[in-house]
Amino acid sequence: MSKIELTHIDKYYGKNHVLKDLNLTIEDGDFMTLLGPSGCGKTTTLRVVSGLEKPQNGIILMDGKEIVNAAEASFAPPSKRNLNLVFQSYALWPHMTVFDNVAFGLRIRKENSETIAKKVASALDRMQIGEFAKRYPTELSGGQQQRVAIARAIVSEPRLLLLDEPLSNLDAKLRVDMRAELKRLHHETGTTIIYVTHDQVEALTMSTRIALYRKGELVQVAPPLELYDNPVNLYTADFIGNPSINFVKGTAQVEAGGMRVDSPLGQMGFERGDMTEAAPQSGSVDVTIGVRPEQLSISRQADDAHWVEGHVYSGMPAGSETLVSVRVGDTMLTVKELGSTHYASDEPVYLGFNPKKVNVFETKSENLIKYCV
Ligand SMILES: Nc1ncnc2c1ncn2[C@@H]1O[C@H](COP(=O)(O)OP(=O)(O)OP(=O)(O)O)[C@@H](O)[C@H]1O
């Protein structure tokens, strides 16, 4: 178990400023996911923590002990950092069987063969690859090799586990199984995990906290539901959630006590207590309302709970849920309903929602100005 503190980390590759004044604390026992689009600096962060790369500025503490101090050109070697790293490209030793690959670290530590056999079997079982113990890496598929790499990393119960897109080669069903296994592993061992992915579902389902990146900077660091319910800006709102959040343009009249918002969704009033510090004090501002697809309800009749008139663009029943795109004026909204319902294209429908549950962003600054409560 360990706590990692990164302060004022800058990393350049030539002129490319890849990590920009990064400040991030990973608490002991966290399952911290580094999330963001390709090229935003997630892998570089892992490489800096593991010691494979040296940042040009900043300090990294591991359990309070300095492992990096760029100003003093002091960088602890990777072997002294007591961590285990699994990269997307899993370098297994080709001349060793799966069992021997996984047992390697334990043998170096001179654990007795009975303990080794037990630990390796348990790690292989967890990754559902027990049956391949005697095979060589070349006799396995990419996904199976990837699971061997994870087994090899977890078998030695490291204090810190760094995982870089470890599930990327797996098919959809296995990926869901492996997410459950990794989450369970984290729960059982309490190991601090830093996990890199660009898959927001993976991040939402497994993490205790998510660090969301944008071009080398951190945009928001928060537990998954906080990120989902109250994204600090339009970027986060748009990145998190599948299907994506709906955005609706509107205008707000802001006063000391709160604000009134007009939009194609109707008129809404909000109290100051539900507004953020980023909210303006007064005046008229353009806003973007964010409403999650599952927050919208749909009805074929107008009633007290369904007041927004629209027309079905297309209905997409998928067994357990139905996604319906609805055109309201010039705005296209996605509605998510549980169960399967058939909606005909161009059918008139009415939408409703709980105004307390929407986010409001100031369009110009892109910042959240009203919480979902
Ligand atoms: N060794 C290197 N030399 C030069 N530039 C690099 C090097 N490694 C990464 N970069 C650049 O640094 C930036 C960040 O890369 P990084 O691998 O950290 O992104 P990422 O968020 O992990 O992306 P992905 O999801 O695609 O893996 C990219 O612009 C990349 O091209």
The tens digit of pLDDT for each residue in 197-226 reads 999 999 999 999 999 999 999 999 999 999
The mean per-residue pLDDT over the stretch 230-254 comes to 96
The tens digit of pLDDT for each residue in 245-271 reads 999 999 999 999 999 999 999 999 999
- Identical fold between 4-230 and 239-370: no
* Superfamily for domain range 4-230: P-loop containing nucleotide triphosphate hydrolases (3.40.50.300)
Average pLDDT value over all residues in the chain? 93
- Omega before residue 166 within 30° of 0, cis: no
- Give bridge partners of residue 262 from the DSSP assignment: 251, 267
pLDDT of residue 2: 85
Q: What is the DSSP string of 182-213?
A: HHHHHHHH--EEEEEES-HHHHHHH-SEEEEE
pTM, two decimals, is 0.90
Residue 314 CA to ligand 1 centre (angstroms): 39
Q: Check pocket membership of 42 for ligand 1, CB cut-off 6 A.
A: yes
From 13, 164, 196, 212, the mutation candidate for ligand 1 (largest count of ligand atoms within 8 A of CB) is 13
User: What are the CA-CA distances from residue 62 to residues 7, 28, 49, 67, 158 (Å)?
Assistant: 12, 10, 9, 7, 14
Question: What is the C-alpha separation between 44 and 12, in angstroms, rounded?
Answer: 10
Question: What is the C-alpha separation between 338 and 30, in angstroms, rounded?
Answer: 33
151 contacts 125 by C-beta, under 8 angstroms? no
The mean per-residue pLDDT over the stretch 266-277 comes to 96
Nearest to 251 by CA among 296, 291, 279, 289: 289
Estimate the crossing angle of helix 142-154 against helix 172-189, to 10 degrees.
0
Q: Whose CA is nearest to atom 5 of ligand 1?
A: 13
Question: What is the C-alpha separation between 162 and 359, in angstroms, rounded?
Answer: 34
Question: What is the C-alpha separation between 196 and 164, in angstroms, rounded?
Answer: 5
Question: What is the C-alpha separation between 33 and 43, in angstroms, rounded?
Answer: 11
Task: Give domain limits for the chain.
Answer: 4-230, 239-370
Q: What is the DSSP string of 225-259?
A: HHHHHS-SBHHHHHHS-SSPPEEEEEEEEEETTEE
Q: Is the pLDDT of residue 244 over 90?
A: yes
The mean per-residue pLDDT over the stretch 348-358 comes to 97
Number of CB atoms found within 10 A of residue 173's CB: 8
Question: What is the C-alpha separation between 357 and 290, in angstroms, rounded?
Answer: 9
Angle at 65 between CA 62 and CA 68, to 5 degrees: 75
Q: Is the pLDDT of residue 331 over 90?
A: yes
**Core vs surface per residue 154-166: b (16+ CB within 10 A) or e:** bbbbbbbbbbbbb
Question: What is the C-alpha separation between 233 and 370, in angstroms, rounded?
Answer: 11
From 16, 17, 54, the mutation candidate for ligand 1 (largest count of ligand atoms within 8 A of CB) is 16
The mean per-residue pLDDT over the stretch 282-299 comes to 97
Question: How many angstroms from the chain centroid is the CA of residue 287?
Answer: 26
Atom of ligand 1 nearest to the CA of 216: 14
* Superfamily for domain range 239-370: Nucleic acid-binding proteins (2.40.50.140)
